């Protein structure tokens, strides 16, 4: 309806684009932005797929995978790795705002790395709010994993913090922000956390089940970190619950896909392919159909056919005004590939 209203007259369009209206719109929807699409690093799949008719994101989908790959999406920003200039790029798909940043000088040549992007304010509704980029990287020679934070406010990388993790290293899988702590999965199925307040890396114990390396970390209902995986025709949601002796054991909740999505999905070997942190929805691929499921209500809210995607995808969520999004894509899709 906002898309139609923005085309009635210039006055209505200016009201919809006004920052005060966008703030009220954000509060009305209780801070839950819509999922506009998702990124994929799969070479045979478009780089970005728009899943709403009012968001003109199709131009991003035409970008060649040889130029860019995605590391993370959060708070209306995407963290991309530019292969042609060996830099990182923070991109707001709606406003077209870009931040180019070099890799930290301490990044070893023989290293695997992953990153996360977040807004200091914790939401996507403030275009001028400073952005943080957190990069974690593992040296395959000495198995030292380190992390550091870049601030768009200072324009520099902060101090390095590190931890020794024998025979394990960071892999390029989706990250999650729980409270003020970021979590990544390691190649040996352990979880590493970066505390933004204490500026410290810590290792969490191994996840109880690897699900053929298709695990997605996500917040649990109790505010702690959890994860999800698919086993046969059921979805497993794991969370950590404190016990009397001070331990934090894992507990599992099992959801039957046949009851959730219909009897036909049990024959298609469903796969968990993505999680949208800001919207709290997961993406399940069954045959050539993709389902978006709201975790709190456990209701199927969307289904798309003829989308044969693989794990992982990086959902992009954002509040936006349709007219602004269309205009920005027409003027920024080519220039943002090369730094100023």
- Provide the pLDDT for residue 210: 83
**Domain identity same for 2 and 66:** no
Rounded distance between C-alpha atoms, residue 290 and residue 273, angstroms: 9
Rounded distance between C-alpha atoms, residue 68 and residue 82, angstroms: 5
**Domain identity same for 145 and 236:** yes
- Provide the pLDDT for residue 27: 54
**Mean local confidence (pLDDT), 135-150:** 93
Reported confidence tier of residue 123, pLDDT bands at 50, 70, 90 = low
Residue 138 burial by Cβ neighbours in a 10 Å radius (0-12, 13-18, 19+): buried
Mean pLDDT check: name the lowest of 70-84, 108-122, 203-217, 254-268: 254-268
**Domain identity same for 8 and 107:** no
Reported confidence tier of residue 86, pLDDT bands at 50, 70, 90 = confident
Which pTM does this prediction carry? 0.85
Contact yes or no for 56/325 (Cβ under 8 A): yes
**Domain identity same for 157 and 206:** yes
Model confidence at 14: pLDDT above 80 = no
**Domain identity same for 71 and 5:** no
Alpha helices in the chain (DSSP H): 2-5, 10-17, 19-28, 58-61, 257-261, 322-332
**Domain identity same for 42 and 23:** no
> What is the CATH classification number for the domain harbouring 263?
2.120.10
Rounded distance between C-alpha atoms, residue 8 and residue 16, angstroms: 11
Contact yes or no for 148/161 (Cβ under 8 A): yes
Percent of the chain with pLDDT over 90: 37
Phi–psi pair at 30, nearest 5 degrees: 55, 35
Rounded distance between C-alpha atoms, residue 316 and residue 299, angstroms: 20
- Provide the pLDDT for residue 161: 95
Model confidence at 73: pLDDT above 60 = yes
User: What torsion, rounded to 10 degrees, do the Cα atoms 289, 295, 296, 300 define?
Assistant: 0
- The number of residues in the chain equals 340
Model confidence at 226: pLDDT above 60 = yes
**Domain identity same for 85 and 147:** yes
Rounded distance between C-alpha atoms, residue 163 and residue 145, angstroms: 5
**Domain identity same for 165 and 280:** yes
**Domain identity same for 64 and 148:** yes
Number of domains in the chain: 2
**Mean local confidence (pLDDT), 20-34:** 62
* Structural domain containing residue 14: 1-30
E strand or H helix that includes residue 156: strand 156-157
**Domain identity same for 213 and 331:** yes
**Domain identity same for 138 and 232:** yes
**Domain identity same for 21 and 76:** no
Model confidence at 327: pLDDT above 50 = no
**Mean local confidence (pLDDT), 128-146:** 90
């Amino acid at each position: 309806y906002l898309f139609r209203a923005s085309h009635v007259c210039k006055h209505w369009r200016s009201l919809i684009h006004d920052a005060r209206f966008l703030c009220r719109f954000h509060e009305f929807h209780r801070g839950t932005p819509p999922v506009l699409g998702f990124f994929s690093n799969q070479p045979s799949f478009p780089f970005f797929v728009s899943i709403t008719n009012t968001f003109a994101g199709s131009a991003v989908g035409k970008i060649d995978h040889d130029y860019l790959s995605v590391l993370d999406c959060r708070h209306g920003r995407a963290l991309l790795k530019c292969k042609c200039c060996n830099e990182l790029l923070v991109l707001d798909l709606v406003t077209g705002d870009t931040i180019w940043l070099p890799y930290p000088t301490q990044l070893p040549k023989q290293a695997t790395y992953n990153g996360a992007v977040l807004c200091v304010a914790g939401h996507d509704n403030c275009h001028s709010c400073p952005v943080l980029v957190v990069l974690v990287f593992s040296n395959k020679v000495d198995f030292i994993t380190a992390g550091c934070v870049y601030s768009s406010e200072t324009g520099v990388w902060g101090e390095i913090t590190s931890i020794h993790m024998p025979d394990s290293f960071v892999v390029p899988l989706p990250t999650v922000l729980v409270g003020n702590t970021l979590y990544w999965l390691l190649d040996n199925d352990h979880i590493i956390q970066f505390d933004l307040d204490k500026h410290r890396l810590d290792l969490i114990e191994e996840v109880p089940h690897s699900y053929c390396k298709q695990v997605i970390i996500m917040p649990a209902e109790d505010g702690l970190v959890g994860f999800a995986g698919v086993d046969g025709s059921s979805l497993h949601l794991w969370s950590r619950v404190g016990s009397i002796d001070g331990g934090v054991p894992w507990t599992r909740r099992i959801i039957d896909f046949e009851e959730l999505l219909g009897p036909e999905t049990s024959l298609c070997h469903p796969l968990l392919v993505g999680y949208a942190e800001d919207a709290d929805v997961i993406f399940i691929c069954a045959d050539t159909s993709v389902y978006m499921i709201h975790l709190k209500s456990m209701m199927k809210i969307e289904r798309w056919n003829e989308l044969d995607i693989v794990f992982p995808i990086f959902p992009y969520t954002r509040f936006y005004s349709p007219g602004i999004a269309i205009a920005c894509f027409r003027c920024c899709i080519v220039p943002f590939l090369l730094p100023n």
